[in-house]
Amino acid sequence: MTPQRVLVTAGANGIGLSIAQAFAADGAHVHICDIDPAALKQATASSENITGSICDVSDPAAVTTLFDDVQSALGGLDVLVNNAGIAGPTQPVADYDQAAWNAVLSVNLTGTFAVTQQAIPLLKESLRASIVVMSSIAGRFGYPNRVAYSTTKWGLVGFTKTLSLELGPHGITANAIHPGAVQGPRIEQVMAGRAEVSGRTAEEETQLALANQALNHFVDPADIAALAVFLAGPHGRSISGQSFPIDGDSKAAQ
CATH number at residue 41: 3.40.50.720
Q: Which helix (H) or strand (E) holds 7?
A: strand 5-9
Residue 144 domain flag = yes
Cβ pair 142, 253 in contact under 8 A? yes
Give the highest mean pLDDT range of 65-79, 177-191, 198-212, 213-227.
65-79
What is the average pLDDT across 212-234? 94
Distance in angstroms (rounded) separating the CA atoms of residues 35 and 53: 9
Distance in angstroms (rounded) separating the CA atoms of residues 176 and 155: 11
Residues 130 and 10 in one domain: yes
Residues 168 and 56 in one domain: yes
Q: Is 73 helix (H, G, I), strand (E, B) or coil?
A: helix
Annotated active-site residue 96? The verdict is no
pLDDT higher than threshold 80 for residue 74: yes
What is the average pLDDT across 35-43? 97
Q: Tell me, what's the pLDDT at 252?
A: 85
What is the average pLDDT across 189-197? 76
DSSP strand pairing (5-9 vs 29-34): parallel
Active-site residue identified among 101, 149, 159, 218: 149
- Please report how many Cα atoms fall inside a 13 Å half-sphere around the Cα of residue 221, on the Cβ side: 19
- Mean of the per-residue pLDDT values for the chain? 94
Q: Tell me, what's the pLDDT at 11?
A: 97
- Band (pLDDT 50/70/90 cuts) for residue 210 is confident
Residues 160 and 191 in one domain: no
Residues 50 and 163 in one domain: yes
As a whole-number percent, the residues of the chain with pLDDT over 70 amount to: 99
Domain enclosing residue 118, as ranges = 5-182+220-245
Q: Tell me, what's the pLDDT at 185?
A: 79
Q: Tell me, what's the pLDDT at 89?
A: 87
Residues 120 and 196 in one domain: no
In this structure, the dihedral spanned by the alpha carbons of residues 73, 105, 121 and 47, taken in order and rounded to 10 degrees, is: 20
pLDDT higher than threshold 80 for residue 254: no
Residues 114 and 78 in one domain: yes
